[in-house]
Amino acid sequence: MLIDSHCHLDFFPPYDLPAILTQAREAGIGGMVTIGTRLANAATQIALAAAHPPVWASIGSHPHNVADETRFTTADIIALANHPKIVGIGESGLDYHYQTAPRETQALMFRRHIEAARETRLPLIIHTRDADEDTAAILHSEAGQGGFPFLLHCFSSGPALAHAAIRLGGYISFSGILTFPKSHELRALAAELPIDRLLVETDSPYLAPVPHRGKPCQPAYVARTAAILAEARGLTPEAIAAQTTENFHRLFTKATPCG
């Protein structure tokens, strides 16, 4: 059994969801987390998770959206996370690639999400792109004020950030990017990081893995990323499935089986 630790079910047309969930089940996906990108849409995330047993959800403000969401305080984030099927905080972090919000606003909201993760003990799902140094600096300064569980999702940054995260007790999640022909360095990194800190995800509907490039991604495809991770580690797909599922549950302690 595999878990898709990061997907966006609210980005699919609702009439497609039954087929997507059926295909995931048939591919051996035992659970998935639909990830929040706007705190204003938290009710949508909660409704999706409540309606579908294999779905858990997170709530958070993606760095693309933070400019509209600074009215949400740390206390608001904590209150929204109270629902039994909300198992994580995020996605939150820094994105200097698109930089649709000022860097200071991204950092402010990133720190609020970190505080919420520290307070609730729910894992923080971190999105970071072209911002390795500032992400590491914020993680270090915040960790100094008290630990919090976290993962770096859709990992595509450099080894220095991966190792810094591991040293702080964090987890690393790989998406379909791991399967791309050009991702040699990422596969080399995936081969050497501690095996008990690795997760897999789709980030669907984005980033379909090889050989599904060009199609909308869906949670069933996490099996492809897991297969490439297994190859990089010299393990069987079954062993990687068991290990990443165990890692998921160690981090996402609120994600009880089938909600």
List interacting residues with Zn ion (CB under 5 A): 91, 127, 203
Q: How far apart are CA 247 and CA 198, in angstroms?
A: 7
Shortest separation between residue 24's beta carbon and Zn ion, angstroms: 17
Report the residue number, 97 or 140, with the smaller CB distance to Zn ion: 97
Contacts of 78 (CB under 8 A, 6+ apart): 116, 119, 120
Listed residue (246, 254, 200) closest to 81, CA to CA: 254
Report the residue number, 129 or 163, with the smaller CB distance to Zn ion: 129
Q: Dihedrals φ, ψ of 48, to 5°?
A: -60, -45
Contact 229, 197 (CB under 8 A): no
Q: Count Cβ neighbours within 10 Å for each residue of 61-82 and write b for 16 or more, e otherwise.
A: bbbbbbeebeebebebbbebbe
Q: Count Cβ neighbours within 10 Å for each residue of 87-126 and write b for 16 or more, e otherwise.
A: bbbbbbbbbbeeeebeeebbbebbbbbbbbbbbbebbbbb
Report the residue number, 142 or 203, with the smaller CB distance to Zn ion: 203
Shortest separation between residue 236's beta carbon and Zn ion, angstroms: 28
Shortest separation between residue 64's beta carbon and Zn ion, angstroms: 9
Shortest separation between residue 147's beta carbon and Zn ion, angstroms: 23
Shortest separation between residue 91's beta carbon and Zn ion, angstroms: 5
Report the residue number, 98 or 192, with the smaller CB distance to Zn ion: 98
- 137: tokens are 């600096």
Report the residue number, 54 or 88, with the smaller CB distance to Zn ion: 88
Shortest separation between residue 228's beta carbon and Zn ion, angstroms: 19
Contacts of 196 (CB under 8 A, 6+ apart): 243, 246, 247, 250
Report the residue number, 91 or 142, with the smaller CB distance to Zn ion: 91
Contact 45, 34 (CB under 8 A): yes
Listed residue (13, 65, 16) closest to 38, CA to CA: 65
Shortest separation between residue 6's beta carbon and Zn ion, angstroms: 6
Report the residue number, 10 or 91, with the smaller CB distance to Zn ion: 91
